[in-house]
Amino acid sequence: MTTLQSYIAGRWIGQEAAQSLRSAVNGQAVASTHAEAIDFAEALAHARGVGIPALMKLDFQQRAERLKALAKYLAANKEALYAVSAHTGATRADGWIDIEGGAGTLSAYASIGTNELPSGNLVHEGPAFPLGKKGGFAGTHILVPRGGVAVHINAFNFPVWGLLEKFAPSFLAGMPCIGKPATATSYLTEALMKLIVQSGILPEGSLQLVIGSTGDLLDRLEGPDVVTFTGSADTAAKLRVNANLVRQSIPFNAEADSLNCAILAPDVTPDDEEFDLFVKEVAREMTIKAGQKCTAIRRAIVPRQHLDAVAEKLRARLAKTVIGDPSREDVRMGALASRDQQADVAERVATLLQGAELVYGERDGFSPVGDGVSEGAFFAPTLLLSRKPLEHDAAHDVEAFGPVSTLMPYDGIDEALALAARGKGSLVGTLVTRDPAIAAKAIPVAAAWHGRLLVLDREAAAESTGHGSPLPVLKHGGPGRAGGGEELGGLRAVKHYLQRAALQGSPTMLAAVTGEHVRGAALRESEVHPFRRYFEELRIGDSLLTHRRTVGEADIVAFGGISGDYFYMHFDEEAAKASPFGKRIAHGYFVLSAAAGLFVSPSPGPVLANYGLDTLRFIKPVGIGDTIQARLTCKRKIDRNKKDASGQGQGVVAWDVEVTNQLGELVASYDILTLVSKKPETT
């Protein structure tokens, strides 16, 4: 039997077996934890002394590239993980969520890093804004790497995704990580870690793995460090008050128990497609991962008049679920992760049954298929009915972490929402309705208690990612009982691992710190047009003040003719007189076009493409006879390490454009986004 190994300070630790871990399917020993104690002082010293410098040698863009490479590597080697995953009781479909969902999350964060983060290791959370009247003093916000270590403690149910979804944003933010999987399924996380180390993609010190206890790790953390946790509310409550974490204000992010609900809205009748969608979603959430999902539907809230119909349809669906050895192709639901979990779920169902009836459960012919499964941690899909849910506290408080859900009748949508809120804070809730007015009324009320909400109807159903799937781009985490934490949510998650500081100073200083031009900062003007400089040659603040152009009526007429825009403000003297401007004015898009004509350097050069505008505002009207002028300033450069088809390197350059009139007043303001070629490589 294999002894699992921790990966600490660049080496594998663990020769001597300690606790043996059993297959959820047949009860046979799969692996054991190791007996050797981990020196957490050494682990932290390695993360700080080796990991942080190695991560800081890279920037956001380069770390995003590493994530992308790792995602590819894991996808290419996924079968090694599927082979181990079956021991956790997971079917291939369950394993897909964990394994490919994990690699997919890395990949999603690689794209988020590439597309939304700058080069370098500082995020400017702009725009900067003036704090004085003369323009010499401004303020903004910056985000920088915390210079600490992220400790990620995970639950047993997602041994791969659990680590990767926490690792990806923290790695991107430049934090070395120490991952601690739940012991019961740590053999799968260890297999993942072996692949990661073997890939050689991550800089040394950026990820360490703890098999077994975290010992005195939390007591040794320091102010810049972070702890994230997924697991039971009891453990979360214990760990978040660790004296050292409290004393040093070390952020503790928790995802804990959650009694998520799905509400069948009062407008849906048994003849509607939505009725079946509701039943399907509840049954699916009960059986995927054998209900061991922090997002699974624990409470199915239905209009009283449809209670029997929902119960009947659910019974029929659950009865069709083939349960057993998850490696068999016909099996739809595998086992719980361990015999301990099996006992725990049975105990919680017994508690729930004190105020509920059994609609479907073990007595309905439960018999797992497969060889040797009698020692497995199987549990029958169990549907309960709480007839008086407002009086049944356990239905809202006791999370049976298995294929267990409770039906609850309601009278009126307000009562349904009151029942939803009895979960005291949930990760996710689903509202199944056809009526936009019900969604508009119910969702804002439910949102106060939920981290994520799915409104399901026939239109969304075909593409719906489902009630239970956290997505990298959407926030995962709920208030109250659900732990009060936030994970994922696109760039938000990266920001959780960065330190935000407000910054005040002159525009010149703000530009120097943020690496972004701030209006009012010193400019650099030269004979060379900025569009004639290669990406490497361009500096923030390189600027061009154009010649001027007087706008005539002919311009307006010509632009109207070309664009077909004969809006009265440009063409109807009388109506324009009666307008707030009191006169005919030029099209805003003409001003933009004319400004481009003023600042462009027409012959071929390093500027390859203009791919858009940001923050466009038409601030003052431009009338017939007004004279406009443009200032073009290099505002921001991002090196995404991209090359075109011919291998020519290129970078992104954002230009600040100010268009002014003859009085020096700003008439239009925007950023233009361009791709600029790097210097051709000389061979």
Residues forming the active site: 255, 294
For ligand NDP, which residue of 103, 142, 256, 494 counts as binding (CB under 6 A)? 256
Strand order across the 666-677 sheet: 524-525, 542-550, 627-643, 649-660, 666-677, 607-618
Q: How far is the CB of 159 from ligand NDP (least distance, A)?
A: 10
**Contact pick of 3, 232, 499, 601 for ligand NDP (by CB under 6 A):** 232
Closer residue to ligand NDP in complex, CB, 236/498: 236
Structure tokens at 661: 């009139």
3-state secondary structure of 657: strand
Using the rule CB under 6 A, give the single segment among 37-45, 225-233, 454-462, 675-683 that binds ligand NDP. 225-233
CB 250 to ligand NDP: min, Å: 14
User: Counting contacts by CB under 6 A, is residue 309 touching ligand NDP?
Assistant: no
Q: Scanning the structure block, which residue is given the tokens 């005040």?
A: 504
Q: Is 235 in the site for ligand NDP (CB under 6 A)?
A: yes
CA distances from 554 to 333, 573, 578, 588, 677 (A): 73, 14, 22, 15, 37
Nearer to ligand NDP, 264 or 400 (CB): 400
**Residue with smaller CB distance to ligand NDP, 289 or 317:** 289
Pairing assessment for the beta strands 252-255 and 226-230 based on DSSP bridges = parallel
Residues numbered 141 to 180 that lie near ligand NDP (CB under 6 A) are 153-157, 180
| DSSP secondary structure string for all residues of 561-588 | HHH----HHHH-HHHHHHSTT-S-B--H
- Does 255 bind ligand NDP (CB under 6 A)? Our answer is yes
Q: Minimal distance in Å, beta carbon 404 to ligand NDP?
A: 11
Torsion of CA 310, 312, 315, 320, to 10 degrees: -110
Q: How far is the CB of 184 from ligand NDP (least distance, A)?
A: 6
31 binds ligand NDP, rule: CB under 6 A: no
Minimum CB–partner distance for residue 256 and ligand NDP (Å): 5
Rounded to whole angstroms, how far apart are CA atoms 405 and 385?
A: 9
Least distance from C-beta 525 to ligand NDP, angstroms?
57
Q: Between 331 and 360, how does the x/- string for binding to ligand NDP read (CB under 6 A)?
A: -------------x----------------
- Does 107 bind ligand NDP (CB under 6 A)? Our answer is no
Element (H, E) at 595: helix 588-599
Q: Which stretch binds ligand NDP (CB under 6 A): 83-91, 253-261, 379-387, 657-665?
A: 253-261
DSSP code for 127? -
16/347 with CB nearer ligand NDP: 347
Residue located via tokens 């959430």: 285
| Alpha helix positions (H), 34-160 | 40-46, 52-56, 60-76, 78-85, 92-95, 101-116
For residue 591, state whether it binds ligand NDP (rule: CB under 6 A). no
Q: Judged by CB under 6 A, does residue 19 bind ligand NDP?
A: no
CB closer to ligand NDP, 6 vs 183 = 183
For residue 333 the two structure tokens come to: 């639901």
Shortest spacing between CB 402 and ligand NDP, in angstroms: 8
Phi, psi of 19 (to 5 degrees): -75, 130
Of 7-15, 255-263, 431-439, 561-569: span binding ligand NDP (CB under 6 A): 255-263
- Closer residue to ligand NDP, CB minimum distance, 155 or 261: 155
- Exactly one of 159, 203, 231, 485 binds ligand NDP (CB under 6 A); that residue is 231
List binders of ligand NDP among 279-298 (CB under 6 A): 294
Q: What are the distances in angstroms from CA 572 to CA 454, 562, 577, 627?
A: 49, 17, 8, 22
User: Is the Cβ of residue 114 or residue 154 nearer to ligand NDP in the bound state?
Assistant: 154
Binding-site member from 85, 114, 183, 228 for ligand NDP (CB under 6 A): 183
**CA angle (346 as vertex; 340, 351 as ends), nearest 5:** 130
Residue number, 38 or 438, with CB nearest to ligand NDP = 38
262 binding ligand NDP? (CB under 6 A): no
> How far apart are the C-alpha atoms of 250 and 272, rounded to whole Å?
50
Say whether residue 633 binds ligand NDP (CB under 6 A).
Answer: no
Q: What is the DSSP string of 331-376?
A: -SB---S-HHHHHHHHHHHHHHGGG-EEEESTTTT---BSTTGGGS
Least separation in angstroms between CB 183 and ligand NDP = 4
What does the alpha-carbon distance between residue 150 and residue 499 come to, in Å, rounded to a whole number? Answer: 13
Nearer to ligand NDP, 245 or 630 (CB): 245
Query: Measured from the CB of residue 162, what is the shortest distance to ligand NDP in angstroms?
Result: 8
Binding of residue 258 to ligand NDP (CB under 6 A): yes
Q: How many residues does the chain have?
A: 683
Name the one range near ligand NDP by CB under 6 A: 8-16, 224-232, 546-554, 664-672.
224-232
Q: Does 89 bind ligand NDP (CB under 6 A)?
A: no
Q: Does 601 bind ligand NDP (CB under 6 A)?
A: no
E strand or H helix at 615:
strand 607-618
- Nearest CB to ligand NDP, comparing residues 267 and 397: 397
Kindly tell me which of 211 and 654 has the beta carbon lying closer to ligand NDP: 211
**Of 17, 54, 197, 239, which one interacts with ligand NDP (CB under 6 A)?**
239
DSSP for 370-418, please give it: STTGGGS-----EEEE-SSGGG-THHHH----SSEEEEEEESSHHHHHH
Positions 200 through 219 that interact with ligand NDP (CB under 6 A): 214
Residue 221 lies near ligand NDP (rule: CB under 6 A) = no
Under rule CB under 6 A, residue 252 binds ligand NDP? no
Q: Is 401 in the site for ligand NDP (CB under 6 A)?
A: yes
Omega of the bond leading into 127 within 30 degrees of 0 (cis):
yes
| 467 DSSP assignment | T
Residue 461 C-beta: closest distance to ligand NDP, Å: 26
Cα–Cα distances in Å, from 179 out to 19, 322, 396?
19, 35, 32
489: left (phi over 0), alpha (psi -120 to 50) or beta: left
Rounded Cα–Cα distance for residues 293 and 97 (Å): 11
Q: Decide if residue 382 touches ligand NDP (CB under 6 A).
A: no
| Binding footprint of ligand NDP, residue count (CB under 6 A) | 23
Dist. CA 99–CA 93, nearest whole Å? 10
What minimum distance in Å lies between the beta carbon of 208 and ligand NDP?
15
DSSP 99: I
- Which tokens is 34 given? 């190791």
Which CB atom, from 180 or from 475, has the smaller least distance to ligand NDP? 180
Closest residue by beta carbon to ligand NDP: 231
Residues contributing to the site for ligand NDP (CB under 6 A): 153-157, 180, 182-184, 214, 230-232, 235, 239, 255-258, 294, 344, 399, 401
